[in-house]
Structure 1
């Protein structure tokens, strides 16, 4: 039996959770779960109260809505994004989706068919790779440099007549790296010149360390013909279970995406959309506080890192919700990560989940999603890592 789903791997987060089966953790040393990059807290109380009012008093929250989303939400996104990025975005350039993963799937369905190619920097976001696999679209690995930044010139060399897009995630999942504005612009110009799309997934843009616009893509002439911007309300307002994301691109491309969206969910969650709209209109200061807390946790990671650096670890990237580490041990990360559950009481994802099977770098890397642990938890995490006594890799042992 063959099927589209058999062309890809099992969901990594679900696979990692199975490592917990049969393992117990003492009260004085509970599990530290840094495997999933999603808030575990519910939306803030003011938003929950607003949602309760919507459930009772807004009949449309329970009915089908437009396939491309709630018009007031589309208009609000267009207005706020225009102000934030210094560009001009019309409401009909915005579509609301059932989460950002669906935004990516709809985009790929609208621009590519089986046998086409999409360039994806490595380490990649595994759900992007999974969807490309299931769609029969080739995920063409674009290796990154020591700072985990992709090179436009290397990307140019990989483009073929079957290439349909370059997909960037910034701030990056899994590495946390923030792509500089000039680098993102260079990729835009490359995509524009070669007639392909530039997909920029900015799920974590609200936690960027830079104040102001992270890039100037919406200010470029002809951006509508090249740029596909993706976004998630899950991280901003903790609406993970309500599944609300967005696409910003040309109305013509959205008309193609609409075909996909209509056959999958018909419309995004109405309650989720009304909630996202309320959040955009009322939670700006609260979200600014959330950003500062995430930046403080990033600083805590960097402050704790010297104790691991002395033991052969390397911090490859850090930002948004993520720290991406290179470990010093002889065993590959796909063996190390399950071992960490029993030896350290830590659930983290191995770099092999974010890399092509034939790329050896993945075996040396671990992703830590730190959004759900505070500074004290980060300190405890690094202390547990520092106590590990696995055999070291030869290159480290010889230093």
Structure 2
């Protein structure tokens, strides 16, 4: 899923300035360039309530790299990482790539966290619990109380809470974002992941950042230095320009996405008789459960071939039972969204009801 807009003009201006300094063509600091780190510190304090006492920030090549860095720092082969279902597939793959074991924990019918189910899944090999809010693939926004509960049980169990907040700016209605890293006493066991890919239209520029306990900083630097050395300096310079513009840039763009979202939800009313459509108050996804005996992969394939509309099957997000589909609308204009949903609705009716 991507947003349909690009970076602000201030980011483009910084890219043009980049070539005026020959030193920009050398390696940069592994953790990120100082001007960007300073801006990130200010943003984290002002927008997330995260103070950097006893913490460090590392600029990464996207939030996915931050997640992989975290695993390198905290886990050994055979260790376990708890992923609520449905999971984000890149995280499940990263866990397996490091020869660790993903442990899946069900969410409720509206894809909200169940802290006691997470507690029951903890073992002596657990190294982390992952939460993604606003959520990919469901669009669910986790409430503050459940995130506090998960963070507390991680502290109690001596494991890390990895909080993926890549979609923090994409909220609708009364939904509010909460950063577990803002909790008093969370600094020793909380790893927070962020990204510019969505909010600032930076998907191809590969800039994210992670906030971690001081104790993990040497291991994270070692992992990043081995794999990347540093996030591309030209992208970091562009990120300086984006952050100087600020998150108001995303809020302005969000108005258009919110209008597209309304089109999507209105069109989906026509299938509510045979589809469960939970609230999706964040990100830019809708995750529906279709009442059919057909598998999600088969249904997705037939929707593409027979009705010209693409969705991602729930099996890609770890849901083997039941037929789930993810709809992404972040890059769609109003006319495209309307046509796509018309095809989806007619396709679902033809394939499921006829």
For 1:213 and 1:62, locate their aligned partners in 2 and report how far apart those are by CA, in whole Å. 41
What is the aligned partner in structure 2 of residue 246 from structure 1? Answer: 209
Is contact 1:112-1:137 (8 Å) kept? yes
What is the aligned partner in structure 1 of residue 247 from structure 2? Answer: 284
What is the aligned partner in structure 2 of residue 386 from structure 1? Answer: 345
1:51 aligns with 2:15: yes
Residue 53 of structure 1: CA displacement?
2.6
Is contact 2:268-2:345 (8 Å) kept? no
What is the aligned partner in structure 1 of residue 38 from structure 2? Answer: 75
Q: CA RMSD in A?
A: 2.1
What is the aligned partner in structure 2 of residue 346 from structure 1? Answer: 309
For 1:276 and 1:269, locate their aligned partners in 2 and report how far apart those are by CA, in whole Å. 11
Q: Which residue of the other structure, out of 258, 262, 267, is the alignment partner of 1:304?
A: 267
Instruction: Name the stretch that deviates more: 233-242 or 136-145.
Output: 233-242
Q: What TM-score does the superposition give when structure 1 sets the normalisation length?
A: 0.83
1:274 aligns with 2:237: yes
Is contact 2:14-2:240 (8 Å) kept? no
Is contact 1:330-1:391 (8 Å) kept? no
Is contact 1:301-1:378 (8 Å) kept? yes
> 1:177-215 CA deviation, whole Å, 9 max, x = no partner?
100111111110110111100000000001123779622
What is the aligned partner in structure 2 of residue 203 from structure 1? Answer: 166
Is contact 1:75-1:90 (8 Å) kept? no
What is the aligned partner in structure 1 of residue 3 from structure 2? Answer: 39
1:223 aligns with 2:186: yes
| Aligned pairs, number | 352
- 3-state DSSP of counterpart to 1:373: coil
1:360 aligns with 2:325: no
For 2:129 and 2:331, locate their aligned partners in 1 and report how far apart those are by CA, in whole Å. 31
Distance 1:330 1:67, change over 3 A: same
What aligned pairs does 1:9-28 form with structure 2 within 5 A after superposition? none
Residue 328 of structure 1: CA displacement?
3.5
Residue 216 of structure 1: CA displacement?
5.5
For 2:292 and 2:306, locate their aligned partners in 1 and report how far apart those are by CA, in whole Å. 14
Q: What TM-score does the superposition give when structure 2 sets the normalisation length?
A: 0.93
For 1:279 and 1:339, locate their aligned partners in 2 and report how far apart those are by CA, in whole Å. 41
Q: Which residue of the other structure, out of 260, 269, 275, is the alignment partner of 1:313?
A: 275
For 1:285 and 1:146, locate their aligned partners in 2 and report how far apart those are by CA, in whole Å. 33
Is contact 1:164-1:197 (8 Å) kept? yes
Residue 317 of structure 1: CA displacement?
4.5
For 2:251 and 2:144, locate their aligned partners in 1 and report how far apart those are by CA, in whole Å. 21
Unaligned residue ranges in structure 2 (runs of 5+): none
Distance 1:330 1:219, change over 3 A: closer
Residue 376 of structure 1: CA displacement?
2.6
Unaligned residue ranges in structure 1 (runs of 5+): 1-36
- 3-state DSSP of counterpart to 2:7: coil
Distance 1:71 1:91, change over 3 A: farther
For 2:69 and 2:84, locate their aligned partners in 1 and report how far apart those are by CA, in whole Å. 20
What is the aligned partner in structure 2 of residue 237 from structure 1? Answer: 200
Is contact 2:267-2:345 (8 Å) kept? no
1:293 aligns with 2:248: no
Residue 283 of structure 1: CA displacement?
4.0
What aligned pairs does 1:125-164 form with structure 2 within 5 A after superposition? 125-164=88-127
